[in-house]
Structure 1
Amino acid sequence: MQRREFLIAAGAATLASSMPSWAQSYPSDPIHLIVPFSPGGPTDSFARLYAESLGKQLGQSVIVENKDGASGSIGSMDVMRSKPDGYNILFGTASTHGLYNLIQNKPRYDAATDFEYIAVLGGAPVALAVNNDMPDTLREFVDASKAAPDTMYYGSPGAGTLLHVATENFLQLSGASVGHVPYKGSAPAMQDLMGGSIEMAVGTLGGLLPLHKGGRLKLLGVASAKRLDLAPEIPTIAESAGLDTPFEALLWNVVAVPRNTPPEIKARLAEASQAAMNDAETAEKLIAQNMFADLHIGDEAASRFVKAEAAKWKPVIDSLGPTIRR
């Protein structure tokens, strides 16, 4: 075991041993895991794997509830306003907790102060796909959009989401002329892409690769510095589009609870989350869906990760300005 992992585990064990009796009985009722996006997308898929494994570790049901809308803020606020007793937890994302306060002119919550973090779990690489009538490389797609400006559109899971920001950054770097159509989640955007209603969509490698292999769309690039072992046949976005610098974006997931949740409850959830994600069967299922675990356990470690991601994207959001801010 790595020294950092040992210290995390030892700390969680110490906290657990000092819990009062009411906390040791937690959870005595089912836990509701709120996913602030629609069913069928990458966030929902990861959440369901996590919920199943977490439930086994806690010996209690973990029920996934999808509460989509307003780019994830509706579900996030629902958890923020809930009783801080560990029975309503949020499956947040880079969109709801990394970028939200950077994008919203009048944010309805503060991701840094209205929540406390249990763990960053991992995520999936961002990828770009086009419908089957489009060219076979992003360079050709960009050229086609320039030749017919204001006639092509791409879909995202919502305005202000990481996938929206990442795509606008790509359009800025490549000079492509493609309009934005926001959806309530990734699944409806993919349906319209495959139906030919939009020309391009942004998603994750895990969500797009099976559709690409099934001939339902063309997966043209993944937002990573180099080709991934998960799908070595798929070029990077920079490679496919002919960009001079790497283009990287990761859709990560974070488990959060309302502020003032008792530390004993947070420790129990953190310990169980670590065990859930280290479970061999869960790890295999993540790999099968082209997702991965990258654990940052506890409020301090998770907060540090979230703040670093926000700092990374802030210059991009500043450069995009009114295109992104709402």
Structure 2
Amino acid sequence: MGLLATSSAALAQAYPNKPIRLVVPFAPGGSTDVVARVIAPSMGRKLGQTVIIENRPGGGGVTATNEVLRSPPDGYSLAMATPSTTAANPAISTKAPYGPADLTAIIDVAATPTVIAVNPSFPAKDYAGFLAELKRKPASYAYASSGMGGISHLQMETFKSLTGVFITHIPYRGAAPALNDAVAGQVQVVMDALPSALPFIKAGKLVPLVVASPERLSDFPDVPTFAEVGLAPMNRMSAFGIVGPKGMPPELVRKINEAVRAALEEPAVRQQIERSGAMVITGSHEQYTAEINSEFALLKRVVAERKLTMDGSN
């Protein structure tokens, strides 16, 4: 045991001696990608090595995340994580190649409100009108999500369960293409984290209807929270963090955690994240682990109650 502890400490002391790969398991331009590209340069400076962003979309984020989790636990292959990759997909897929126990939760970086928004051509421009329209014309509308089994998919299925409406699910290979089609009017409704949706909302290309946030957002003072419209179970923000393979030495986890914390203390980094619509959070390894486990347990219940499957049937 003493030899193992010594070798782990030596590994952490020497780390890193080559570039670090930070995999974003979604397409460029989505909220996860936005946050990763803000923190990577400063994180690299703190560690003394370049942090290379690698976008690997597909499979709702599972494919790339699984590839990272199967890498050696030496800190050179890390993944940006979201509730989709750490909880939602493992909760819904009976063939998921990993679960929360198969990763090392290093640090949660930022939390973002999520928003239901519609194309400006949608008949309603506020939440009450939106809900009334869905009830008036059942099965006439569709919503775009970042992928089958992702957090936006399960959140919208929760919305359908709580409100009794039906709206068709159209999964995409990440938030960016889902947003693009919502903006283009190919799909009428989208639910996504605010950082990637915010530029389209500010440009008038999407209309926000309701947000998951502790309180109304200053940018949209007229847009209610889910809690205000009677959907308290949906009023949970999405957290972005960094994870690695199972079995990473505690000293290594601590070193990466401290580097990211230091990066997030830089005013320029914090301001960029906040301007994107996210809120900076810098929890410990233990706190992030507990958060992932709690989200996974909650979504497992949603999947069971809605009888959801990865083929879209329920």
> Same fold per TM (> 0.5)?
yes
Measured in 2, the distance between the counterparts of 1:91 and 1:245 equals 27
Higher deviation after alignment, 40-49 or 263-272: 263-272
Matched position secondary structure for 1:176: coil
Residue 223 of structure 2 aligns to a residue whose secondary structure is coil
Q: How does 1:162-181 map to 2 (within 5 A)?
A: 162-181=151-170
Percent identity over paired residues:
34
Amino acid at match of 1:118: I
8 A Cα contact 1:224 1:246, kept in partner = no
Structure 2 letter corresponding to 1:53: S
1:32 aligns with 2:21: yes
Q: Which runs of 4+ in 1 moved over 6 A?
A: none
Which is further off, 142-151 or 114-123?
142-151
* Aligned pairs for 1:173-252 within 5 A: 173-229=162-218, 231-237=220-226, 239=228, 242-243=229-230, 245=232, 247-252=234-239
Residue in 1 that maps onto 2:276: 289
Alignment of 1:29-178 (within 5 A): 29-112=18-101, 114-134=102-122, 135-178=124-167
What is the count of residue pairs matched by the alignment?
A: 306
Q: Structure 1 residues 246 and 270 mapped into 2: Cα distance closer, same or farther (>3 Å)?
A: closer
CA distance in 2, matches of 1:321, 1:226: 31
Are the equivalent residues in 2 in contact too, given 1:115–1:256 (CA < 8 A)? yes
Q: Call closer, same or farther: CA 1:244–1:311 in 2, change over 3 Å.
A: closer
Secondary structure of 2:271's match? Answer: helix
In structure 2, C-alpha distance between the alignment counterparts of 1:104 and 1:261, rounded to whole Å: 26
TM-score, normalised on structure 2? Answer: 0.90
Query: CA contact under 8 A between 2:92 and 2:308: conserved in structure 1?
Result: no
Q: Displacement, 1:162?
A: 0.9
CA distance in 2, matches of 1:82, 1:323: 28
Other structure's SS at 1:296 match: coil
The gaps in structure 2 that reach 5 residues or longer are none
Secondary structure, counterpart of 2:106 in structure 1: strand
1:11-46 deviations in whole A, cap 9, x for unaligned?
A: xxxx99x932x5323211110001111110001101
Gaps of 5+ in 1: 1-14
Query: Which residue is equivalent to 1:256?
Result: 243
CA shift, 1:88, in A, is 0.6
- State the AA in 2 paired with 1:277: L
Partner of 2:259: 272
Query: Does the 8 A contact of 1:138 with 1:237 survive in 2?
Result: no
Structure 1 counterpart of 2:203, one-letter code:
G
TM superposition shift of 1:323: 5.6
Q: Against the structure 1 CA distance between its residues 305 and 237, is the aligned structure 2 distance closer, same or farther, given a 3 Å change threshold? A: closer
Q: Cα offset for 1:151?
A: 2.0
Task: Check whether the contact 1:156–1:202 (CA below 8 A) recurs between aligned residues.
Answer: yes
| RMSD between superposed Cα atoms in Å | 2.2
Q: 1: CA distance between counterparts of 2:201 and 2:219?
A: 14
CA distance in 2 between partners of 1:265 and 1:39 (Å): 28
